[in-house]
Structure 1
Amino acid sequence: MLTLPDGVPIDSDTLKIALGDSSGEHAYFLHTETGEVVFFSLYDDSEAKDELERRVNESAGYVKIEPVPSRVAYIWMEDFVSDVIFPENEGLATMLYRALKGKGAFGRFKRILCDESDRWLKEWYNWREVQMEQAMQDWITENISEESTLK
């Protein structure tokens, strides 16, 4: 469980979503006293969104959550191929290395894993989950306090 320095639990499920959301369609913020993660869609024009934006902007207690940079997610895929796939299946690793070149790499990568077998896709998601857990801890340490912990 992720916690704030004072032991208050952080909404880690929504934090994980925020760190993985590179769509640019949402803005996420962590409240540094309650551990609540709030978000709003940039396309939402409701009064509730306006109220939430006002609350976030008027309080020093919110920290904006930026998604994991795409270059980091790309490195995760490369590392997965070299550390997990290559030792067992050089042919698949070669296909995946080729798929990671150029625009659309993320989609090609997942498509090849899915076409190959459910096993590799499941292993990718499990492996990515471990990377995301570390990214969450790193984000808390860098943005909140060095005292925050992942238990």
Structure 2
Amino acid sequence: MLDLDAIDVEEIATALADQTDYEHRWLIDPQTGEVAFWTSDTGIDGENPVELDDLDLVLIDPLPSYVWYQDMVDFTHGISDRAAGERLSRSLQGKGAFRRFKNELYQGHPDLIAAWHALRGARARARAVQWLAEEGLIEQDAAQRFTRDHPDPSIP
């Protein structure tokens, strides 16, 4: 088992959120907790291609986009400014919701950007720790302590 304090939880969170493509992948060394970035062209060292199956590392598959979408929904419903919440909520309808939400937030409600980043970051870190526990890389007790000690921030 790895020590949670020795793992870069932010990096795991980034890997879990990475929806770009399968030409690159994130992996973690189950012995050290070190995160590696693999590409089909340059492997993990940036120079030598290697097959994923040839590595003794755990693949970090991204979480489905609906998980991250729910954060936007929860944020819009939690905002005390009903008008802002309604505009942000409308931006979530249909394809392109992530882009429209970001545009509406940054252009129409810059005062809410810090609160959005705080919520999204807190949830991403909590998901990263939960993923580590589910993969058997950290103790379940450590994951529960982290969740208890790092609740969602309040939404203005």
TM-score bucket of the superposed structures, by smaller chain: 0.7 to 0.9
Note if 1:82 corresponds to 2:74: no
CA distance in 1, matches of 2:99, 2:44: 36
Match of 1:12 in 2: 9
CA RMSD of aligned residues (A): 2.4
Structure 1 124/6 Cα, relative in aligned 2: closer, same or farther at 3 Å?
closer
Checking the alignment, whether the CA contact within 8 Å between 2:37 and 2:44 is kept in structure 1 is no
Give the superposition deviation at 1:135: 0.6
* Higher mean C-alpha deviation, range 116-125 or range 71-80: 116-125
CA distance in 1, matches of 2:98, 2:120: 13
Match of 2:94 in 1: 102
CA distance in 1, matches of 2:138, 2:30: 13
Note if 1:22 corresponds to 2:19: yes
Q: Bigger relative contact order, structure 1 or 2, given CA contacts below 8 A and separation 6+?
A: 1
Give the superposition deviation at 1:128: 0.4
Normalization by structure 1: what TM-score?
0.80
Checking the alignment, whether the CA contact within 8 Å between 1:28 and 1:40 is kept in structure 2 is yes
Give the superposition deviation at 1:71: 0.4
Note if 1:31 corresponds to 2:29: yes
CA distance in 2, matches of 1:93, 1:36: 39
Structure 1 90/6 Cα, relative in aligned 2: closer, same or farther at 3 Å?
closer
Kindly tell me the number of residue pairs found equivalent between the two proteins.
Answer: 141
Checking the alignment, whether the CA contact within 8 Å between 2:43 and 2:49 is kept in structure 1 is no
Match of 1:130 in 2: 122
Match of 2:149 in 1: none
For 1:15, the aligned partner's letter is: I
Note the alpha carbon deviations across 1:54-87, whole angstroms, 9 max, x for none.
Answer: 4x5234x41110112100001111011112x1xx
CA distance in 1, matches of 2:103, 2:133: 34
CA distance in 2, matches of 1:147, 1:46: 30
Checking the alignment, whether the CA contact within 8 Å between 2:27 and 2:58 is kept in structure 1 is yes
Give the superposition deviation at 1:133: 1.1
SS at match of 1:68: coil
Unaligned runs of 5+ in 1: none
Identity between Structure 1 and Structure 2 (%): 29
Checking the alignment, whether the CA contact within 8 Å between 1:32 and 1:144 is kept in structure 2 is no
CA distance in 1, matches of 2:71, 2:97: 12
Structure 1 48/129 Cα, relative in aligned 2: closer, same or farther at 3 Å?
closer
